[in-house]
Amino acid sequence: MSRKTVIMALVLAGGCVGFCPKAPAQAASSVAGSKSPQGVSDQDIALLRQDIRSEKKQLIAANLSLSDTEATKFWPLYDQYTAELTKINDTKYQLIKEYATNWGSVTDEQAASLIKRSLDADLAVAQLRLKYVPIFSQVLPGKKLATFFQLDRRLSNLIDLQLASQIPLVQAQP
């Protein structure tokens, strides 16, 4: 990635900071309810997620050199892929909300269920990527295909890391 792209990616990932729980006491209030004392609502989070998707698309466009013919075929597939990925990410968001709602009283059984469902969501993302490799390969040559998936994974990893760093560990609950 270019220096400009790295900076944009860090800004993109950093955009999550203001909307993600930073401490155990804030976890339940900022994610679980429809509105927190900090003013973060489900609608705010939906808008943030939409902005992140838009920024991600811009970063991919800036770093994936496509011919006009490739772009005409690629972007509709990308939008389809993103729509499916968004559904999986909806599951991840619901898990975070559930965790935040139960913060301070998460039982061993709930913790085990949350981690299993979280790993299932991770697996669903990997399966989605596997599903789309042959689809994207119909419109992109191998190097561009690999570049797209590298960019997609790097940006997703940055976002996931930022989110994970803001969510308190289960064992830290009172």
The predicted structure's pLDDT at residue 122: 95
What residue ranges of the chain have pLDDT lower than 70?
A: 1-42, 44, 46
The predicted structure's pLDDT at residue 87: 94
The predicted structure's pLDDT at residue 173: 74
Q: What domain range is 166 assigned to?
A: 3-172
Q: What is the pTM of this model?
A: 0.74
How far is residue 135 from each of residues 68, 73, 77, 80, 122, measured CA to CA in Å? 18, 11, 8, 11, 21
Instruction: Work out how many domains the chain is built from and give that number.
Output: 1
The predicted structure's pLDDT at residue 40: 55
How far is residue 26 from each of residues 33, 45, 156, 172, 173, measured CA to CA in Å? 11, 15, 24, 13, 12
Which amino acid is residue 7, in one-letter code?
Answer: I
Residue 80 to residue 128: CA distance in whole angstroms: 11
pLDDT digits (tens, 9 = 90+) for 97-110: 888 888 889 899 99
Whether 56 and 11 have beta carbons less than 8 Å apart is answered as: no
